[in-house]
Every structure is written in structure tokens, then in C-alpha cells.
Amino acid sequence: EPEVTQTPSHQVTQMGQEVILRCVPISNHLYFYWYRQILGQKVEFLVSFYNNEISEKSEIFDDQFSVERPDGSNFTLKIRSTKLEDSAMYFCASRDGPYNEQFFGPGTRLTVL
């Protein structure tokens, strides 16, 4: 069964460093998402991406964040200068049509020291 994959599963970085989180959505999907879950809290929407552009972003998604679909298969989230409060689980999700469910990847745990 097709699935969304994410790498790495766990990333440890120093405050101020740049990180790139990678996702490979399901191959025929067109809509892509990043969500964040700080430990013990609810899952929060960061950004959605469709037709090679951001369709919506939350107020969390400030200038330190960017997304890209560089090669038609990967979907990346970049954090330019990480802060301690960026420590969280980051989930990628994708779906194929506007009325269909989102499929989630297993998440990347980001730890900022």
C-alpha cells in the first residue's frame, strides 16, 4: 500500500542552524501539507502546498520557514535558523483530490539544543 515517508526520523540540531526535513508524498497526490506537534500538545497546521505554490500558511509559518517541491517527488520543509521552540514532531501529509483524506507520514522528531 502506498505511504508517505519522511526522513530523517529524528534530527538533532543546534539553535541557529538550518534544518531541512524531507517528505516523499504518495506518488499521484497533488496536495501537500506540513503539520507540527509540540510534545504533549495538539497537532497544528503549518502550511499547505498545491500546484507548486503555497495555498495557505498559518501564523506559525513565518519567514524562517520555507517549503519546496524540488524534483516532483520530494516535498521539503526548511527552517533557516532554528529556535528552541521549534523542537517538535513534524508531520508531512498528502492527498490526491480536494475531497479525499490526508495521509500522514510517520513524522520527524526535531530536537533543537
Partner 1 sequence: AQTVTQSQPEMSVQEAETVTLSCTYDTSESDYYLFWYKQPPSRQMILVIRQEAYKQQNATENRFSVNFQKAAKSFSLKISDSQLGDAAMYFCAYRSMKSQGGSEKLVFGKGTKLTVNP
Based on the shown chain and the rule CB under 8 A, indicate whether residue 64 belongs to the binding site for partner 1: no
**SS3 call for 43:** strand
C-alpha cell belonging to residue 3:
505511504
Q: Which of 48, 75, 79, 94 binds partner 1 (CB under 8 A)?
A: 48
86 close to 20: Cβ distance less than 8 angstroms: no
Q: Which sign does the torsion angle of CA 59, 42, 96, 75 carry?
A: positive
Min dist. Cβ of residue 56 to partner 1 (A): 4
Query: Of the two residues 75 and 91, which places its CB atom closer to partner 1 in the complex?
Result: 91
26 close to 3: Cβ distance less than 8 angstroms: yes
Other CB atoms within 10 A of residue 97 CB: 10
Query: Of the two residues 22 and 109, which places its CB atom closer to partner 1 in the complex?
Result: 109
Min dist. Cβ of residue 101 to partner 1 (A): 6
Residues that bind partner 1 (CB under 8 A): 31, 33, 35, 37, 41-45, 48-51, 55-56, 89, 91, 93, 98-99, 101-104, 106-107, 109
